[in-house]
Amino acid sequence: MRSILQNIYGKPKGEAAFSRITAVLDDYLEKHRVGKAAAFSQSDVILITYGDTLFREGELPLQTLHRFLDEHVKKVFSGLHILPFFPYSSDDGFSVTDFIMVRPDLGSWADIRSIGGRFRLMVDLVANHVSAESRWFRNYIADRKGFEDLAIEVDPSVDLSSVTRPRSLPLLTEFKKHSGRGVHLWTTFSADQIDLNYRSLDVLENMVQAMLFYVSQGAKIIRLDAIAYLWKEIGTPCIHLKQTHDMVRLFRRILDMVAPQVALVTETNVPHKENVQYFGDGSDESQMVYNFTLPPLLLYALTVGNARVLAEWIQTLSTPSPATTFFNFTASHDGIGVRPLEGVLPPSEIDRLADRVHRNGGHVSMRRRADGTESPYEFNITYFDALKDPGVANDPFHIARFLASQAVALVLPGVPAVYIHSLLGSRNWTAGVETTGQARTINREKLSADIVATELADSRSIRARVFQSYGNMVRVRVRRPAFHPGSGTQVHHIDDRVLTVQRVCRDQTLYALTNLSAEKLTMTLPNVEHGLVLTDLLSGRRFKAEDIHMAPYEVLWLEPGSTPKLHKQHGKGYLMGY
């Protein structure tokens, strides 16, 4: 830890930082035991939700959520990511006013601990910024001791054109301090979200204390939100800087020392090559990274009914060690990120997706490039509605196409994560967008828990049809060792319309086939003996390897009657097979 701090701050200041952080860790260790190292298996599947996505009159939302989990998903999901549940002023929780409080209208830390006792709890460390309405910022404005250097002050005449911008908003926001002095502050995401100045040891100490407080309340995974922008150096893009990676190493080192049972996951909505840099050397940065290329590329594959580009990309997936893996998701509280498609799809095909999103009632958010032009940043639409055929009024394959997309995320190497609105087959919340004026509101609808329960009890409803099929896939997955994050993975080409992923471990071989088209198909499984009988784990149907029939958008998870030898093709290995 000392060497990391000296790399960030230089020797004298690094020593001062080491003394302060060591005191924080000593205080933590006086009250808490050191756990066992974090590890993931095929049984890990994480549900993502806001604390108040589900509500019931007369009941605090965290208690409503806990009841829903117990009644519907406790035997399906092992982990739960509750999006920021702290007091906030904007951005649906990501402009935090108090890092160590639970919103009273949601519940209490006792509610969080209770849920954490049943599920592997994932909590956000919103490390990049703080609310302009927070006590911390008020203390900065008043020049109070310990907060003088909270924010990043910049001369507005300085050339900041090289800074990477995630949103088409001003980078600097003007404020007036109590002394009367005007300051221009760095605000990467909005005028209400003040970027924290990690050159200040007070900021560093406060954020380390916040992270360890979450651990003390039951967090088993810490999500580092928007971490790529953490450190700023004028004259650079101010994204993925060395000091930012050193800060991730510092957070990891701290957890390894006092809470090794807690894993880090980095949220960096950027092209894949940049994204995986946050694995570090496989032991010193995050254990998981969000697999941001998957959602838009999977949407593309199902739009064109062709698996080729998706399959080629999957074959490139690798991590630097058995201790690292991908956080595989298709939807989240944000939109579908577009930047991860850079270098994967040509602009014309990205425009094709944007057109589909518009035709299905969604929105396309833009960002400003360094040259002043704008390009798509994310698609704002529920993943369920993104997969509707916009040319068909009553799309007969809508649900099947959506479930096919979710099946792909479940079979890839990594830990699957499921957004609650995907689990429930939610539609676009256009009324919410009209109310807030924010495109991201479209997939953040608040739902009556009682109405959801009624819909889930009706086998004809969209929610029930999606929920039951989704739950069945997850239940099958978590019992199969071949789906372990570290099991071998190979992609086979049978037909351009079918994604065929083979997962292999010592005890099991599985072939996961997903028909990405609206066509009925018959095919032969490659590299297996003629006459081999395979059983579909999802339906119980049996097939011969040379006579596999698939309905439009059908998903088959095939297990051989006897495990065949895996024929390793020239130039292709078992990516991520340790």
Catalytic residues: 225
DSSP 72: I
Characterize the bridge pairing of strands 46-49 and 415-419. Answer: parallel
Residue labelled with tokens 């339906």: 539
| Count of residues making up the chain | 578
Return d(Cα 570, Cα 534) in angstroms, integer: 26
User: Tokens at residue 469, please?
Assistant: 């099929």
Residues with Cβ within 8 Å of 102's Cβ and at least 6 positions away in sequence, in order, are 62, 85, 86, 108, 109, 111, 112
Return d(Cα 321, Cα 98) in angstroms, integer: 36
Return d(Cα 285, Cα 49) in angstroms, integer: 25
Return d(Cα 468, Cα 399) in angstroms, integer: 12
DSSP string, 119-156: SEEEEEE--SEEETTSHHHHHHHTT-TT-TTSB-B--T
DSSP 481: G
For 172, the 3-state DSSP assignment is strand
Return d(Cα 495, Cα 518) in angstroms, integer: 14
Return d(Cα 184, Cα 176) in angstroms, integer: 9
Return d(Cα 447, Cα 467) in angstroms, integer: 15
Characterize the bridge pairing of strands 508-515 and 521-523. Answer: unpaired
Strand segments, DSSP code E, in 1-85 are: 46-49, 54-55, 79-82
User: Tokens at residue 184, please?
Assistant: 């221009």
Return d(Cα 396, Cα 389) in angstroms, integer: 9
Tell me if 443 sits within 8 A of 427, measured CB to CB.
no
Radius of gyration of the chain (CA): 24
Tell me if 449 sits within 8 A of 67, measured CB to CB.
yes
